[in-house]
C-alpha cells in the first residue's frame, strides 16, 4: 500500500472505498471465498493511493486465511501505512455452507 498527501487535512471528511472483488482461500478447504471489502476512513496527513490498495487487496487471492483474520489484518496494515484519524474495515463474505459472514473492525486514533 502506498500513500499520497492529503491536501485538505484542515477539515475532517470521510472516504468510502468499496472493493467488491475480494477473494481469499479458506484455510481448511483451500476453496475460494468471495467478499466485498469496504474501507471507510477519516484521513489525517495521508490518503491511500487507490491502485496500490487494489494490488494489496488482490494479493490475498492466494492466501489461506479466515474471514476474521483477513479483515483485521487489512485494518492493521491500513493503520500502519495510512495513519488515519479513524477507519472501519468491513468484509461481507458470500454464502458458504448456508452461512453469510460479515466482519467489521474499527480503529480510532
Catalytic residues: 26, 33
Q: Which residue reads 498527501 in cell numbers? A: 5
By C-alpha distance, which of 108, 62, 69 is closest to 91? 69
> Where are the strands (E) in the chain, listed by range?
3-5, 15-25, 32-42, 46-48, 86-96, 99-108
Amino acid at each position: 500500500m502506498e500513500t499520497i498527501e492529503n491536501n485538505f487535512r484542515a477539515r475532517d471528511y470521510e472516504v468510502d472505498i468499496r472493493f467488491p472483488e475480494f477473494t481469499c482461500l479458506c484455510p481448511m478447504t483451500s476453496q475460494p471465498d468471495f467478499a466485498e471489502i469496504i474501507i471507510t476512513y477519516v484521513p489525517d496527513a495521508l490518503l491511500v493511493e487507490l491502485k496500490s490498495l487494489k494490488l494489496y487487496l488482490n494479493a490475498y487471492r492466494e492466501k489461506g486465511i479466515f474471514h476474521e483474520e483477513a479483515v483485521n489484518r487489512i485494518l492493521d496494515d491500513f493503520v500502519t501505512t495510512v495513519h488515519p484519524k479513524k477507519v472501519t474495515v468491513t468484509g461481507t463474505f458470500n454464502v458458504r455452507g448456508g452461512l453469510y459472514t460479515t466482519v467489521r473492525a474499527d480503529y480510532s486514533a
